[in-house]
Amino acid sequence: MNNLEILIEDGGDVSIGPEDGYPFVAIARDAENVVALLVREKGEALTALLRRLDRAVGKFFENGEVVDEVYDLPFTTPTSPR
């Protein structure tokens, strides 16, 4: 889970909990923006959710893509930190 480690080392954070009516959401933020919001799938292990979150953060690092499963608002940031 290198992408999550890099995100946190660079001042970002990860939180897991309820969000907008979903009981279990993983959220990754860099110092300024939300990078990914993932809804835990039925029966999904926490470790599997964290692996998906790591891959989503990797997409952000590669091309600025923000993965949003909560609000379903696909967008990219003008500049990616990596």
pLDDT (tens digit, 9 = 90+) per residue, 8-54?
999 999 999 999 999 999 999 999 999 999 999 999 999 999 999 99
- Rounded to an integer, what distance in angstroms lies between the CA atom of residue 79 and that of residue 20? 27
Rank 26-30, 67-71, 78-82 by mean pLDDT and report only the highest.
Answer: 26-30
